[in-house]
Amino acid sequence: MTEEMADALGPVDAHVIPHGIDLSLFRPLPAADSRARVGWDHDALHVLFPYAKQRPVKDYPRAAAVVEAVRSRLDTPVRLQTLSAVPHEMMPVYLNAADSLLITSSHEGSPNTVKEALACNRPVVSTDVGDVAERLDGVTQTRVGRTDAELVEGLLAVLGRGEPSDGRDHVRSLSLSRTSERLAGVYESVGR
């Protein structure tokens, strides 16, 4: 899924093909409508932590600390929203309801939720894990941080601007059809 994974294999031929995303499902939707559907307050800023709190690798305590630090520096209420056992077809609604996605994982490969958020043009703030830095490179309204202070500053920056990202333009190459074409190409090359 990532160059890092390919490098771990050593000197062998490898094809890096991240999981594709459904661009017809994951697309920009009106934030107000999305918030109404999920029942979130329209007068607050919503930071989405798209995982169960109990998953240690996702590091919910770090996300909570980052949001608390941001909350103390803003006048607008900031809510940390967590998700667990949400049907896949509802994820675009939650992503579009959020003002930013926050990833504080200690380890990832190629997190689909980051690519899905980009397909919805949502801002993303993340730790430097897996291929996240590569995915966010050149995308507006995104930040990668190694320290809590960098994550806080990144979240303050994207919330302060209050604008969508241009992420969809950057993930078109990861559509399901493009990923399928790349996989088919690998199979065809092996069969020759």
CB 143 within 8 A of CB 158: yes
Q: What is the pLDDT at residue 148?
A: 98
Backbone angles phi, psi at 10, to 5 degrees: 90, -160
Rounded to whole angstroms, the Cα distance separating 56 from 35 reads: 28
Query: Could you tell me if residue 14 is inside a domain?
Result: no
Query: Could you tell me if residue 44 is inside a domain?
Result: yes
Query: Could you tell me if residue 94 is inside a domain?
Result: yes
CA dist 69 → 50, 75, 110, 155 (Å): 19, 12, 27, 10
Both tokens of 94, joined, read 């939650």
Query: Could you tell me if residue 179 is inside a domain?
Result: yes
Q: What is the CATH number of the domain that holds 58?
A: 3.40.50.2000
Q: Which amino acid is residue 98, in one-letter code?
A: A
Q: What is the pLDDT at residue 138?
A: 97
Domain that holds residue 27: 3-8+22-187
pLDDT in tens, 66-116: 999 999 999 999 999 999 889 999 999 999 999 999 999 999 988 999 999
- pLDDT averaged over every residue in the chain: 89
Query: Could you tell me if residue 100 is inside a domain?
Result: yes
Query: Could you tell me if residue 150 is inside a domain?
Result: yes
If pLDDT is split at 50, 70 and 90, which confidence band does 21 have?
confident
Query: Could you tell me if residue 41 is inside a domain?
Result: yes
Global confidence as pTM: 0.85
Tally the domains of the chain. Answer: 1
Query: Could you tell me if residue 153 is inside a domain?
Result: yes
